[in-house]
Amino acid sequence: MKGGETHMSIRKLVPAWQKGFTLIELLVVIGILGILIAVVLVAVNPSRQFASARDTQRRADLYAVTNSLYQYSTEHEGNFPEDISGNPKITTVPTDAGTAGLDLASDLVPTYMPAIPEDPGPTSSQANTLYFLHIDANNRLVATAASELNPGQTIMVQR
């Protein structure tokens, strides 16, 4: 036998290493990734973060409405729109008088603000922004909205 032939016969006896991962290795990696994703989602708590962001938007909307009303009163001898009494809902479209709501759009848009804001939650509509407005006993303007992050509590802006 020649030296080259012996070498070839040994190669045939030893199986070549195959490249790639086994099914078990892939399943272990997928399991570890699943556990890590679950831990991150629990730590971040996206629903709480979204509720917090919507509450922040509600507070900003209330400030925008109260600031616009004070700009209105400055240009109207200190008077607010006549409809502000009791605790009316703020609407963005005209409504009947009474408990149906208060349409501030005719008084504030577009001079004092581009549009009456709507609640960022999924249950608001143009006919009901879910924001409330009244003048308290000290003749101060108070705007309120329900907090999504802390149910049962209100977000209040008082000027």
Answer yes or no: pTM beyond 0.75.
no
What's the CA gap between 108 and 70, in Å, rounded?
10
Note the pLDDT of residue 23.
93
What's the CA gap between 116 and 126, in Å, rounded?
9
Note the pLDDT of residue 137.
81
Whether 97 maps to a domain, the answer reads yes
Whether 150 maps to a domain, the answer reads yes
Q: Contact 95/106 with Cβ under 8 angstroms?
A: no
What's the CA gap between 113 and 71, in Å, rounded?
10
Whether 33 maps to a domain, the answer reads no
Whether 131 maps to a domain, the answer reads yes
Query: For strand 154-158 and strand 102-103, is the pairing parallel, antiparallel, or unpaired?
Result: unpaired
Residue ranges making up the domain that contains 55: 46-158
Note the pLDDT of residue 28.
96
Name the nearest CA neighbour of 159 among 133, 120, 123.
133
Whether 13 maps to a domain, the answer reads no
128 against 109, higher pLDDT: 109
Whether 58 maps to a domain, the answer reads yes
Amino acid code (one letter) for 154: T
What's the CA gap between 49 and 46, in Å, rounded?
5
Whether 120 maps to a domain, the answer reads yes
Return phi, psi of residue 70, to 5°.
-70, -35
